[in-house]
Structure formats: C-alpha cells, structure tokens
Amino acid sequence: MKIINKIILSLITLSFISSASFSAPVTWKASHQWPGGKGDPRDEMVQIIKREVEKAKVDFKIQIYPGKSLYKPKEQWKPLTTGDLDMTAFPLDYANKFHPEFSITLMPGIVKNHDHAKRINKSAFMKSIRKIMDDAGVMVVADAWLGGAFASKKECITSPGTAKGQVMRAAGPMFNKMLEGAGSSIASMPSSEIYTGLQTGVLTGANTSSGSFVSYKLYEQLKCLTPPGKYGLWFMYEPILMSKKSYNKLNSKQKEALKKAGEKAEAWMSGQVANLDTKMEKAFQKAGVKLVYMTEKDYNAWVGIAKKTSFKDFAAKVPTGQKLLDQALAVK
C-alpha cells in the first residue's frame, strides 16, 4: 500500500512539474502603420523579431498586421497598455496625448546625429523615459532613432525664412511650435497620410523620417528635399514596444527568445540608419527632385527658434519638462 501511495504521489508531482514547465503555445499580435514586406526598416525590425522568436521553437509565434490593418497609428498606445495589443513599431511621440513627456523624443535639436542617438539610449534621459513607459505598462523590445528630412513642393527649405508661408506637416507638437515660430502654418497628420496631403494641396511641405519619405513614395509629390546631411535637425525615437501584461504571461524560455530577438533587431537597425538617409537621397535624385542641405548657420537659426518656442513650451507645460531637457542636452 505504501508503495502504491508513493507511486501516486510521484505521478501527481510529475504532473505538476510538467504543467508548470510547459506553457500553451503563444501567438502575439504585432501592429504598425508601414507597408509590410516592402523594405521599410521598422517593418523589417518586427519581421526579424518574428523570425528569431519562431526559430527558437519555444511555442511562440508573432502575427504581424502592417499598414494600419489592425489599429490606426495613434490608436496603438492604449491597447498596448491593456494587453489587447502585444507589440508595435511605434513613434513614441504619438502617445504624447497620454504622456506629454514623450514629445521630447521628437524635439528639434535634441539628437544631432546617429552616433549621438546611441549615446542618448544609454543616458539618464532615456532611463527617465523608459520609467514613464514601464509605469504605463509598456516595455522596450528594441531601440531605434531615425533621422529625417524637410521637403517641399513649393520652395526648398533651408533657413527658417524659407519655411515662412508654407503649410507644413510636422510629426509632433514640438516641431509644430518651431515651424509656427518660423511663420509656417501647420496641418497635422500621420506620415501615412502625407502623400494625399501633398497631392490634394492641403500641404506644401513636410518633415518625416528618411524611411517614410521612401516607403510612402513622397518623391512623387515633391520638388525639393533637405536631407539631414551634416546638420540633422530631425530625429525621432521609434522603438519596438511590447505590452508588459503580454510579456508577463510568457515563460522563461519565451522571454529569453524575445530578448535575443530584440537585440538582433536593434543591432540590425543600428547598422541601417545612416544608410536610410543615403537611400532616401538616391530615390529622390532618381525621381528628379532637387536636393539642398542646411548650413551650420541655417541649423543654428532653427535651434534658436526652437529654444524660444519648443523648448520653452515643453518646460512650461510638462511638470518634469525642464529636467528632461537638461538630461537630454547633457548628453554630448
């Protein structure tokens, strides 16, 4: 009888261990606004994570919904915090409605170039930004800062005076403030709608990431492009994010597979970002669009306007705004 009881106890224990060690297969939903499978770098980051996670064979799959097919661009943050959306390639400034601090991740003059962006990622500034995300229930899978450009169908944009009188699309409120300070009118819209805005005459110009200028074929609607060049004014934080609730449901092997996949995607993007600017320039040149570059004098004039408008407004309206500005500007 004792032997039988021991056998039964052993079977129960084994069953408990087995059920605790093996989770049911997991399928995540990943959403973003860019074309799928067309070479956009943000889509490719998600594709890398999907491939690497599934290659690990830990009962973890990722279903990608590109091109706004699951959520509209600015509607992704809320479901990410609740766990209704598992992952997204997301320009963090899009969530400034919920967390106005995030506007600093698309602030003129904060990030100067791609090497500077790498240093920013390791700074106290980004630690503060990630703490806000974590408290909201969102975590970073892979970091990415993308450079961007100015463009117009009316007049080449170099100095602030060349933007005066133009109707511009700016990606976020801080660029809106700076452009308004230069005498531009603003028409707000996600990057996926710039093409139509230019086509219909709602816009005369725009600024967005180098990748978006190419992915959305904006060269078909523009006459002049101002790439980042030596003086990059436009940099935007566009990480791959995940829901903390979704992450906490993964087992240890799945978490490790996701960590390694994120590291691979981030390393890939780090090697691509400068090439995106070059790729944009070549695409616009091929389309017959004129290319011009800001001088140091032009750049400093823009930063001067930003300090009087964007920086000032951010510090006044966001309780921790000045602290975040000081942390970001301390990174050399």
244 pLDDT tier (thresholds 50, 70, 90): very high
pLDDT at 17 over 50: no
Q: Which domains does the chain have, with CATH numbers?
A: 25-329 (3.40.190.170)
Token look-up 């006459």 returns: 223
Average model confidence (pLDDT) for the chain?
Answer: 91
Lowest-confidence pick of 5-14, 58-67, 321-330:
5-14
The first and second tokens of residue 19, run together, are 């059920």
Determine the pLDDT at residue 8: 45
228 pLDDT tier (thresholds 50, 70, 90): confident
Q: Are 196 and 72 in contact (CB under 8 A)?
A: no
Check residues 310 and 274 and name the one with the higher pLDDT. 310
Determine the pLDDT at residue 274: 81
21 pLDDT tier (thresholds 50, 70, 90): very low
Question: What does the buried/exposed string (b/e) look like for 236-265 if buried means 16 or more CB atoms within 10 Å of the residue's CB?
Answer: bbbbbbbbbebbeebbebbeebbeebbebb
pTM reported for the whole predicted model = 0.81
pLDDT tens-digit map of 165-220: 999 998 778 999 999 999 999 998 988 899 999 999 999 999 998 988 998 999 99
Report DSSP letters for 134-159, one per residue.
HHHTEEEEE--EEEEEEEESSS---S
Determine the pLDDT at residue 231: 84
pLDDT tens-digit map of 67-98: 999 999 999 999 999 999 999 999 999 999 99
pLDDT at 150 over 70: yes
Determine the pLDDT at residue 22: 52
Distance CA 265, CA 142 (A): 7
pLDDT at 114 over 90: no
233 pLDDT tier (thresholds 50, 70, 90): confident
Determine the pLDDT at residue 18: 42
Q: Averaged over 230-250, what is the pLDDT?
A: 94
Residue 70 is classified by DSSP as: S
- How does strand 185-186 pair with strand 167-169? parallel
pLDDT at 324 over 60: yes
Lowest-confidence pick of 125-134, 152-161, 270-279:
270-279
pLDDT at 269 over 80: yes
Name the CA radius of gyration of the chain, rounded: 23
pLDDT at 260 over 50: yes
Backbone angles phi, psi at 139, to 5 degrees: -130, 155
Distance CA 110, CA 106 (A): 8
Determine the pLDDT at residue 170: 81
Q: Averaged over 92-113, what is the pLDDT?
A: 93
Determine the pLDDT at residue 23: 57
